[in-house]
């Protein structure tokens, strides 16, 4: 789990405490695992019937060809997969978050990737399936057959906010 932790001197303790919390955006879901080149090689070798050593050589040469093309040509298009392109980021001024001091960030070359149509469609399908699974509702005995969206908002404060000693973001009507 990756936790975003920043010390921003101008935002005060509320914001520094807030920034130290876990952001779901930066956390990979538990069911997502990182796939390594070794696992890709194993899967391909089993599918096509080559040895893992020969398959590893083919996969590595494919990656090397992509990198070499990017270095020489600055762009490679792989139909139904996507487009890799080398672009130059302009120089800019930034601020060191620890000290607040201005820093000059030099121009640099970066590799960008734009997914192809087929990849975008498959990812969109995955997104739709996840949204459907999240909105799936099954009645239970304890909720009296009431759908979650029909339950009136009680105005209850989430448990994490209830434990907050500073009382930031509390409902003004509930204080007093």
pLDDT tens-place string over residues 28-85: 556 678 899 999 999 999 999 999 999 999 999 999 999 999 999 999 999 989 999 9
Look at the chain and count its residues: 176
What six digits make up the tokens of 88? 């130059």
3-7, 60-64, 120-124, 164-168: the lowest-pLDDT one: 3-7
The Cβ of residue 55 has, within 10 Å, a number of other Cβ atoms equal to 20
Decide if pLDDT at 148 tops 90. Answer: no
| pLDDT higher at 4 or 148 | 148
Rounded distance, CA 32 to CA 29, Å? 6
Which residue has tokens 């009136």?
152
- Contact in structure between 171 and 155 (CB atoms under 8 Å): yes
pLDDT tens digits for 81-99?
999 999 999 999 999 999 9
**Percentages of the chain per state (helix, strand, coil), in multiples of 5:** 40, 15, 45
Rounded distance, CA 8 to CA 97, Å? 6
Report residue 140's pLDDT band, with 50, 70 and 90 as the boundaries: low
pTM of the model: 0.53
Q: What is the mean pLDDT of residues 115-133?
A: 90
State the pLDDT at residue 132.
87
Q: Supply the DSSP symbol for 5.
A: -
Question: What is each CA distance from 126 to 26, 119, 120, in whole angstroms?
Answer: 19, 11, 10
């Amino acid at each position: 789990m990756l936790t975003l932790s920043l010390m921003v001197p101008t935002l005060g303790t509320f914001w520094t405490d807030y920034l130290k919390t876990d952001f779901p955006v930066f956390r990979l879901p538990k069911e997502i695992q990182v796939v390594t080149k070794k696992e890709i090689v194993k899967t391909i070798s089993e599918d096509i019937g080559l040895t893992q050593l020969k398959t590893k050589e083919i996969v590595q040469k494919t990656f090397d060809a992509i990198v070499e093309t990017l270095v020489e040509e600055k762009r490679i298009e792989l139909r139904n997969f996507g487009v890799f392109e080398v672009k130059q980021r302009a120089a800019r001024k930034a601020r060191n978050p620890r000290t607040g001091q201005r820093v000059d960030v030099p121009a640099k070359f970066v590799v960008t990737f734009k997914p192809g149509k087929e990849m975008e469609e498959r990812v969109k399908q995955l997104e739709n399936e996840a949204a459907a699974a999240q909105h799936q509702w099954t009645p239970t005995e304890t909720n009296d057959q009431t759908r979650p969206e029909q339950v009136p908002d009680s105005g209850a404060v989430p448990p994490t906010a209830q434990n907050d000693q500073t009382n930031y973001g509390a409902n003004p009507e509930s204080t007093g």
